[in-house]
């Protein structure tokens, strides 16, 4: 059971709730803060104050006063009018993250909502009720307004849920699981839709998977080094100590560990080759900064997932309600674009390595790693697939955060496009998983052509791949092999086998 209090959530916990379905409850400390905040909202209503989003319209309509008798209807209308997202639905894993993060933001006690609202949101989460949230339509300025409205509707018994991949009216689902729909009160509809939880949920998942992906990328690079009979001299600690970027140092140390004990590398220690191509020689200088970008992204997300991101915010101790811009998605838009670019570069260097492995003019290996080349095409077209994926990534890596289109009649005149940044990073990540799978397959085939043993780490990777996928002696459909290795990349099976052999990669 996970206890949320608005302040101590971690990316690891978010990921576990998303992927493992851990149950979540509201911590007692959060209840006390929320109770105080709600009491002040009630005082505002009793005194008849004019407060944005409570007794006024929103956006460009902020100057429209709302009669007290219509304050609750306003909150329902906000959800109905804002639920305009389109496209394919977010996956159940992502929706779980969205619900958790929205509940945690409200639990901070600066939103003025009832405890019951957060409890109902967590009840949906714990009973695996998944709101239907189409993925396109947020500009990431007043938070993820439109997609979060789809979530909010379900709390009131409106909107739709996903059940076994099909859209079902939410009221029926709520009845089936015994959840009573909420009748929203003042401030609650607005509090549900102002926030960055769509981009943050995607960000947590992408960042977690990217950490594992980069371990796989280093394993793949080391396997390729062995297959191409490269040298490990470029990973010498002395080189990296005189340019001591932390990621570069970590990556170089990983590469040394991966190929330690390699008979293949030792066999050509004094050969005539002067140096390796950049794709091999510069792995620490390319993958190292990517490790640092992941660390930076984690730091931003750790702050964001424990922040109050709606508007206005309620400060009961000072008896103030302040309208600001904590909902603006720029911090996440920037880091998701940054991470997407880094992931795209990971795919770029991997694809160039694949090309080097299959190219007989530079590899020293049979053409396209095929036996009886000509009769067999080997891995020729696998490189095409990788090239296609990295080309697609180059389009997806264009930073969405550099764009802005004013909304709400110019009241919201600068927007972040952060949910687009997050979705693109998500898509790039999955494309790179396939590229790395192809590199591992081709590298394993290349190692098979060597008569000597690879290093302890690369040998463990080669062995676990060969446990499931045999050497390609004659042409066969390769897509099942690619899918299988991609599964092993995502599950961490290859990295686990390697780390069991040589210890943790940094």
**CA–CA separation, 316 and 462 (whole Å):** 61
Residue whose pair of structure tokens reads 């640092």 in the numeric block: 292
Q: How many helices (H) and strands (E) does the chain have?
A: 21, 9
| Rounded CA separation 104/305 (Å) | 8
Residues 6+ apart with CB under 8 A from 222: 255, 258, 259, 455, 457, 458, 461
What is d(CA 128, CA 131) in angstroms, rounded to the nearest whole number? 10
Q: How far apart are CA 414 and CA 151, in angstroms?
A: 25
Of the chain, the end-to-end C-alpha distance in Å amounts to 30
Task: Please name the residue that has the structure tokens 């159940």.
Answer: 92
Contact 421, 375 (CB under 8 A): no
Burial 328-361 (b: 16+ CB within 10 A, else e): bbbbbbbbbbbbbbbbbbbbbbbbbbbbbbbeee
Q: Which of 52, 130, 132, 434 is catalytic?
A: 52
Active-site annotation holds for 132: no
The C-alpha atoms of residue 309 and residue 115 are separated, in whole angstroms, by 18
Q: What are phi and psi of 95, to 5 degrees?
A: -65, -40
**Rounded Cα–Cα distance for residues 362 and 367 (Å):** 10
Per-position DSSP letters for 108-133, written without gaps between them: TS-S---HHHHHHHHHHHHTT-EE--
Cβ proximity of 30 and 108 under 8 Å:
yes
Encoding tokens for residue 292?
């640092």
Q: List the structure tokens of 177.
A: 């699981």
Task: Give how far the C-alpha of residue 86 lies from the chain's centroid of Cα atoms, to the nearest Å.
Answer: 21
Active site residue ranges: 52
């Amino acid at each position: 059971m996970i206890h949320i209090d608005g302040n101590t959530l971690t990316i690891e916990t978010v990921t576990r709730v998303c992927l493992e379905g851990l149950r979540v409850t509201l911590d007692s400390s959060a209840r006390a803060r929320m109770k105080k905040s709600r009491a002040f909202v009630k005082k505002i209503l009793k005194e008849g104050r004019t407060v944005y989003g409570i007794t006024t319209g929103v956006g460009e309509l902020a100057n429209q006063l709302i009669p007290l008798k219509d304050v609750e209807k306003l909150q329902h209308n906000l959800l109905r009018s804002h639920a305009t997202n389109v496209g394919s639905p977010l996956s159940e894993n992502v929706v779980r993250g969205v619900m958790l993060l929205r509940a945690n933001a409200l639990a901070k006690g600066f939103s003025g909502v009832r405890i019951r609202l957060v409890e109902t949101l967590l009840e949906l989460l714990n009973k695996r009720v998944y709101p239907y949230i189409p993925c396109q339509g947020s500009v990431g300025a007043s938070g993820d307004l439109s997609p979060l409205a789809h979530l909010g509707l379900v709390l009131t018994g409106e909107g739709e849920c996903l059940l076994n991949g099909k859209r079902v009216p939410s009221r029926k689902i709520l009845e089936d699981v015994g959840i009573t729909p909420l009748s929203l009160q003042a401030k609650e509809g607005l509090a549900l839709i102002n926030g960055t939880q769509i981009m943050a949920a995607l960000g947590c998942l992408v960042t977690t998977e990217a950490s594992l992906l980069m371990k796989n990328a280093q394993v793949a690079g080391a396997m390729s080094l062995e297959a191409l009979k490269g040298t490990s001299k470029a990973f010498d600690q002395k080189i990296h100590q005189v340019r001591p970027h932390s990621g570069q140092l970590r990556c170089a140390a990983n590469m040394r560990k991966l190929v330690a004990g390699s008979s293949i590398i030792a066999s050509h220690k004094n050969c005539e080759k002067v140096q390796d191509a950049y794709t091999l020689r510069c792995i620490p200088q390319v993958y190292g900064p990517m490790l640092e970008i992941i660390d930076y992204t984690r730091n931003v997300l750790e702050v964001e997932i424990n922040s109050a991101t709606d508007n206005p915010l309620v400060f009961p101790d000072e008896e103030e309600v302040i309208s600001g811009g904590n909902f603006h998605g720029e911090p996440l838009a920037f880091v998701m674009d940054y991470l997407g670019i880094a992931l795209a570069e990971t795919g770029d260097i991997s694809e160039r390595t694949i090309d080097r492995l299959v190219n007989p003019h530079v590899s020293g290996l049979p053409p396209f790693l095929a036996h009886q080349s000509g009769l067999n095409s080997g891995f020729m077209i696998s490189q095409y697939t990788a090239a296609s994926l990295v080309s697609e990534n180059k389009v997806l890596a264009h930073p969405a955060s550099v764009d802005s289109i004013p909304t709400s009649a110019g009241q919201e005149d600068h927007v972040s496009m952060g949910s687009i940044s997050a979705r693109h990073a998500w898509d790039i990540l999955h494309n790179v998983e396939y590229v790395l799978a192809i590199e591992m397959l081709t590298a394993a085939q290349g190692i098979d052509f060597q008569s000597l043993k690879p290093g302890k780490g690369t040998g463990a990777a080669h062995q676990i791949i060969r446990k499931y996928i045999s050497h390609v002696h004659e042409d066969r459909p390769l897509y099942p092999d690619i899918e299988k290795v991609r599964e092993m990349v995502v599950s961490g099976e290859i990295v686990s086998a390697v780390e069991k052999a040589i210890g943790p990669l940094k």
